[in-house]
Structure 1
Amino acid sequence: MSPSLQKIDRHTTHADDQHADDVLTIAKTLAKQFSETAVERDQAGGHAAAERESIRASGLLTLSVPKEFGGQGASWETINQVVRILAKADSSLAHVFGFHHLQIAGLQLYGNAQQQRRLLTATVENNIFWGNALNPLDKRTVASRLEDGYVLNGVKSFSSGSVGSDWLTISAWDETTQSPLIAVISSKQPGIQIQSDWDAFGQRQTDSGNVYFSQVFLPDHLVLQAPGQTPTPQATVRSQVAQLIMTNLYLGIGLGAFDAARHYTKEHAKPWFASGVEQSSDDPFIQRRYAELWLLLRPAIALADSAGRELNRVFEKGALITKEDRGNLAVSVAEAKCLAHRAGIEVSTQLFDATGARSTSAKYGFDRFWRNVRVHTLHDPIDYKLRDLGRYLLDGQFPDPTPYS
């Protein structure tokens, strides 16, 4: 490599690092803002319209759009760090933010060159906020063939980020081929009704209600994957983007719970009478508890960061992604997600053992950490992730490419 090229590479790396630092600074500012009302909004539920507009105004909606289309071209490492930072403060908004970028990833993984240019450029120019109605297990939305497209009828559940979105990624069942199509459509398309009816006990502001389709016209040029089309290895990477977003969501919740508990222990907790210490933080059993919780989080963070680097490497290969690339990535992501799952649940549960009875007061809202991570970790069963890993370790078989693995 010539000296001039070496200089360019160092400059580019420095510029990318600086951009990542700037992005994380913006994310931390947003997280601080969201943390001030997180407990109140969690109790209220519903649509966090003002906070979503803050995300839009921050400029972070264009993070994952490639630079050639006017976006920031950030790495998946950076995007997932933003998810983690936001989740420490408010995992519902981190969920909405992460799933916005999941839809953008889908455009790059499924869409042809013309679709990518048109839709990704529009995302930047119009600061589009993407939502999701691509629940693959819900086949109640049916696509009927027309001469120049399809007509959609039915309903989609678990449609994260749909309320308040500008565009949706959708799936619909084609009866003729007995297979799904994947497409995008404007949230304002006539015949679409987005209901703010999400009623789970956690993740209460993820805008994950039902989307109803009544005689909705879907033109051919918005279909990313036609019915009966076999997904390429590149297309099947979408599920790995989703799984790693969830991984960092769970880690953010775990870290948020850890920090909230630590602050409470240092500032408010009363020592147990038999401890013989004046401050709860001097109790050796409390100190051991925090060490054990951190040792759940620390390896989960390391594996998540490693999987993020692997996702970036594979994603950048584009159409050259092989089955082996995809398989190795799926193993890395499954490892990270299983540890993040366990860490998030354990830390958000055991924080009360470290903080005591007074910390259960509703004014602190510490229960939201457990409720949020418990609801979201049910997205797909951890038992099947562990089965995938065990099968790989024993037989060398990669996880089957599905929307969940």
Structure 2
Amino acid sequence: MYPLTQYPSGWSVLEAVRHLAASWDQENTHEDFPAERLHALAEAGALAAFKAVTPGGSTDALLDVLRAIGGADLSLGRVYEGHVNAVQLISTYGDAEQRATLDIDLEAGRTFGVWNTEPTPGLAIRKVADDRWTLDGAKSFATGAGHLDRILVTARDETGGKQLVLVPIAGEIARADNTGWQVRGMRGTCSGAFDFSDMTIGREGVIGAANDYEREPRFSAGAWRFTAVQLGAVEALVRHLRDHLVASGKSDDPIQRARFATCLTETRSAGLWVRRAAHLAETQAAEAIPFVLMTRGIVEEAGLRTMEAAARSVGTASFFAKSRIDRITRDLGLYLRQPVPDQARDRAAAAWIEEDCWGDDRWW
């Protein structure tokens, strides 16, 4: 594993990541793939730190690492969250040999991701020999296309099941096409397309059984991780807004203070929801799914209101390219666009009407 050689003795992964994030949040970088920052996370031990998360301390540590990275660089946060998701899926559904190989890869600092979205007709896997399979098709919105080392994809097998497949893609740059990733935010994720046609894998690449990927509550409740990354960006916006108010003298204006108060209370409240959602998800509690679905909307609303407040309070200066508020707002505006937000909240509300999903201290 990459050692914590550049940090004081006794520092945890969280302390190292917070140190990095504080530095990264000082200025904007070029909006390309954050390879150097990902390498820094490897050196901090963050790539291998969360193969498995236990209720309690390690859940809080992962949440706070995701927040810290999201507050400094949302593109990096998206890449890192995908890495953690892939590593945990392999740890959960892989066999002993696959888990041992994962350990070796993580020791070497290799990066992982998960790609599920695909253009029609989708990615297919076909058995061609006893221990050989071939892939046909592509993935879209493929975060880190052309930059990651190992990718976990879903592929339709010959029975119609959705099979998890681990594919080594390091060096397969010609298969990646990021020309279509022309977006105003999250440019550094390089979420283009990747063509898997005629790639072959052995038995070591077939992870778990068909349809493991969508097993609940892990599939839906796992969304808590991206809400933590989003939350970190909203918190960073609040900090930069506060710094502007103090530096500009606007903190003496009661209208500005009222606007700031709204940002502060909504963001702090969202943080409480995200932390509880994380613990419910990692313990696979019965109420985890509706709680996480509700949390998605709460973080989204906090983000939207804070972005609007920052634009109103800071004004034109918040739209300049060198402004951290500009970069965070552009990235967050896109990253908040997660799948079916209205349906997610509706599902949560329906479950909440049926039974209070808060857990302790239920109201009905």
Same fold (TM over 0.5): yes
2:266 corresponds to which residue? 296
Question: Which of 389, 392, 401 is matched with 2:348 structurally?
Answer: 389
Paired position in structure 2 for 1:219: 202
Q: Distance in 1 between matches of 2:178 and 2:114?
A: 14
The Cα shift of 1:129 comes to 1.1
Query: Which residue is equivalent to 1:126?
Result: 108
How many residues are matched?
Answer: 345
Tell me if structure 1 keeps the 8 A contact 2:217–2:288. no
Alignment of 1:49-68 (within 5 A): 49-66=35-52
In the alignment, which residue of structure 1 is the partner of 2:176?
A: 194
The answer for the alignment partner of 2:123 in structure 1 is: 141
* RMSD after superposition: 2.8
Other-structure match for 1:310:
280
Change in Cα spacing, 1:288 to 1:62, as seen in structure 2 (3 Å) is same
Q: Is the 8 A contact 1:23 1:60 kept in 2?
A: yes
User: Bigger shift: 137-146 or 189-198?
Assistant: 189-198
Rounded to whole Å, the distance in 2 between the matches of 1:20 and 1:334 is 37
State the match for 2:306 in structure 1.
347
Q: Which amino acid aligns with 2:303?
A: G
Evaluate the alpha carbon distance shift between residue 328 and residue 136 of structure 1 in structure 2; reply closer, same or farther with a 3 A threshold: farther
Instruction: Report the Cα offset of residue 57 of structure 1.
Output: 1.9
Distance in 2 (CA, whole Å) between partners of 1:256 and 1:61 is 23
How far, CA to CA, are the matches of 2:52 and 2:235 in structure 1? 30
Q: Partner amino acid for 1:240?
A: A
- 1:286 and 1:190 mapped to 2: Cα distance? 51
Task: State the structure with more CA Rg.
Answer: 1
Q: Report the Cα offset of residue 169 of structure 1.
A: 0.5
1:152-202 alpha-carbon deviations (Å, 9 max, x no partner): 12210111234321111111123x322321111211387972334432221
Structure with greater proportional helix content: 1
How much does 1:348 deviate? Answer: 1.5
Contact 1:88 1:256 in 2 (8 A): yes
* Distance apart, 1:96 and its partner CA: 1.1
Aligned residue number for residue 160 of structure 1: 143
Is the contact between residue 130 and residue 161 of structure 1 (CA under 8 Å) also seen in structure 2? no
1:188–1:163 distance in 2 versus 1, CA, 3 Å: closer
Q: Aligned letter for 1:180? A: K
Within 2, Cα distance between the matches of 1:20 and 1:99? 28
- 2:227 alignment counterpart: 247
For 1:75, which of 52, 58, 64 is the aligned residue?
Answer: 58
Residues 312 and 53 of structure 1: is their aligned pair in 2 closer, same or farther, counting only changes over 3 Å? Answer: same
How far the C-alpha of 1:233 sits from its partner, in A, is: 8.6
What is the alpha-carbon distance in structure 1 between the residues aligned to residue 184 and residue 104 of structure 2?
A: 36
Unaligned runs of 5+ in 2: 1-8, 358-364
Q: 1:301 to 1:397 in 2, by over 3 A?
A: closer
CA contact (8 A) 2:123 2:155 kept: yes
Residue from 232, 237, 246 that aligns with 2:218: 237
Structure-2 separation of matches of 1:208 and 1:386: 26
Deviation larger for 232-241 or 118-127: 232-241
Q: 2: CA distance between counterparts of 1:191 and 1:127?
A: 19
Q: CA deviation at 1:232?
A: 8.8
CA contact (8 A) 1:163 1:208 kept: no
Q: Which runs of 5+ in 1 are unaligned?
A: 1-18, 68-72, 270-278, 315-324, 399-405
| Mapped partners of 2:213, 2:141: distance in 1 | 26
1:61 is paired with a residue whose SS is coil
Deviations 1:5-55 (A, max 9, x none): xxxxxxxxxxxxxx9972222111111232244x242xxx22222222222
SS at match of 1:146: strand
- 8 Å Cα contact 1:286/1:354 also seen in 2: yes
Q: Equivalent residue for 1:264?
A: 244
- Which residue identity does 1:184 align to in structure 2? L
